[in-house]
Structure 1
């Protein structure tokens, strides 16, 4: 008999009327942070909570990470940093990866946020702002070691080395970069970027160094430097495909069974009638669709739901608010008791869903929408 106790009576699921429920295990997130922290030697283990903690709710996730030992956080945008400041201790450090947009420098100091300066324009803006305040202001410098995305170029670093006054008033707290291929441990680009960071940092003011995010941590101590900044790994995503995932899953997504019916040979299912029954089948319609962030691509191939140990293939196209599955293999007495099926759960991870959709777990997590009833599990007071 499958476990039908997922949606606990106290969760509010039954009364919510929501078509699906997202269970977020805060204790698992904290355990993942502690595991990552043990792997980073003497490096500070920060926590990335951008994109609303990868869609799981920074207002609940960040305090749990803080209780687990995190004191340094990274977000992408100024607005995320402002919100995060109200969730965590005033002594916590918050870095904003995209740095200060023109005219926003005062907001950073008002909310005690640390900008990551990615360009000469941002360096000049922060330099000017520090001059107005009359005090040195903290910031990180990001350098581009080969990803061609964010960061100061070699030419920019040469300019700063030749003109150190351009950094007057900037208290460099961190020199950082980002690995492009960390999820492929054997890729030679990893070592090239590591060495490039060392060379670029030697031409800048002395400061702690940071290179690795989640996957980079698993490349070993030579990539840890002084600070690591895991994001996806906190939320249970596999750091690479070369080894089993040592991280705990942190989410479970269950969809409500809204309707069941029996169809006959030749009957089509869903928009475009792209799937047709070869014989009589029992099917169920679920209250979850692409408007909830459950990805449409690839769902009618490898896509499935689970009820205990019963695999339930997705039939046809996912609709905006609904998904149809084949429940023919489930005994009727079991199905009669079921109120939901797992879309993400013990038998199907976030990474599994991503592979079926031809994407990555990051996209699956951050796409999960706001219509779910959410339940946060924790034993931490």
Structure 2
């Protein structure tokens, strides 16, 4: 193979959705976040697999992402736009029946003027200070907004991946204070919030990273495998260096493989000299700098020169690789490049 092969297990995505769905009562709907092109794995293919499994509410960040999901799924699902009704999005929102989650009085005004009578939801800020109307803003427009019959009221937890954080309970209290008695379906929990328990579930949960095998859903099935072809191998003598700026020097004779991937493919430069690739369960350390298209790997311990090495596999999932790089699994997933040959497993039943 000339480039890496990214294998995406759609059956695992569906299994993760079903597992998260099982954590809430039957009256609670489980949606799915497919923004950022399905966390880098292909929003259309992921959404189709989840729709077949029973998902009917999908969340994207931008209206143009919603257009791609609408094309894949047709009109039989709800597609919510987390960034709301932005200037220039009106035609897309109206023509494709997207549901913007209005984040501000400005967006509320824009939507009611440009898209009267069309669906919308509301996003409230309960303490994250990122998106949504703050309590005073909400108090000023709540009567007007509720009279237009929103389809959903949501907020977002800032620390749901830290179950013991007092911020979770404080945001829950604030969300209840802002929304109790409205009679509108509510959503507070993404993946982490779903794991916090029933009091955070309300009417709709919206798991994201957990669907794709990432923390904080530790029980998730792995979704991706990434195999990188070995282009060349060489014996490097003691005292010789590998890669840009000679950041790694062989302490003794080592066999070094050069594999076809680099930071242009989402394997970030922070992995330089950190982490490993795997062959049949054996770890092979990354040596030297990760460059744009190439990575050096110490394969001295292997009994043979392999045709390929795995950087995402059962031995090293997205969060383990992210920890080696000093980042989070979200960044690893959403950075995976378009040069990989993509292979899809399952999702068609």
RMSD: 1.4
Partner Cα separation in structure 1 for residue 119 and residue 265 of structure 2: 40
Residue aligned with 2:151, SS:
strand
Residue matched to 1:192? 170
Q: Equivalent residues in 2 for 1:1-381 (5 A)?
A: 14=1, 17-18=2-3, 20-41=4-25, 42-131=27-116, 136-161=117-142, 164-165=143-144, 168=147, 170-202=148-180, 205-239=182-216, 245-301=218-274, 303-332=275-304, 335=305, 338-378=306-346, 380-381=348-349
Partner Cα separation in structure 1 for residue 279 and residue 293 of structure 2: 20
**Conserved 8 A contact 1:127-1:167:** no
Shift of 1:107: 2.4
Residue aligned with 1:297, SS:
helix
Shift of 1:106: 3.5
**Conserved 8 A contact 2:210-2:220:** yes
**Conserved 8 A contact 1:123-1:167:** no
Residue aligned with 1:330, SS:
coil
Partner Cα separation in structure 1 for residue 255 and residue 263 of structure 2: 23
Residue aligned with 1:84, SS:
helix
Partner Cα separation in structure 1 for residue 145 and residue 250 of structure 2: 70
Shift of 1:379: 6.1
Residue aligned with 1:314, SS:
strand
Segment of structure 1 superposing worse, 143-152 or 40-49:
40-49
Give every structure 1 segment of 4 or more consecutive aligned residues whose post-TM-superposition deviation is greater than 6 Å. Answer: none
Residue aligned with 2:255, SS:
strand
Segment of structure 1 superposing worse, 52-61 or 99-108:
99-108
**Conserved 8 A contact 1:127-1:166:** no
**Conserved 8 A contact 2:124-2:154:** yes
Residue aligned with 2:165, SS:
coil
Partner Cα separation in structure 1 for residue 6 and residue 88 of structure 2: 39
Shift of 1:109: 1.7
In structure 1, list runs of 5 or more residues that go unmatched: 1-13
Partner Cα separation in structure 1 for residue 79 and residue 282 of structure 2: 45
Residue aligned with 2:269, SS:
coil
Residue aligned with 2:73, SS:
coil
**Conserved 8 A contact 1:209-1:227:** yes
Change (3 A) 1:166 1:64: closer
Partner Cα separation in structure 1 for residue 194 and residue 144 of structure 2: 35
Partner Cα separation in structure 2 for residue 299 and residue 237 of structure 1: 23
In structure 2, list runs of 5 or more residues that go unmatched: none
**Conserved 8 A contact 1:137-1:171:** no
Partner Cα separation in structure 1 for residue 115 and residue 44 of structure 2: 31
Residue aligned with 2:91, SS:
helix
Residue aligned with 1:262, SS:
strand
Partner Cα separation in structure 1 for residue 45 and residue 344 of structure 2: 8
Task: Tell me the matched-pair count.
Answer: 348
**Conserved 8 A contact 1:124-1:166:** no
Shift of 1:206: 2.4
Partner Cα separation in structure 1 for residue 261 and residue 293 of structure 2: 5
**Conserved 8 A contact 2:261-2:293:** yes
Partner Cα separation in structure 1 for residue 88 and residue 260 of structure 2: 45
Partner Cα separation in structure 2 for residue 103 and residue 180 of structure 1: 29
Give TM-score, length-normalised by structure 2. 0.97
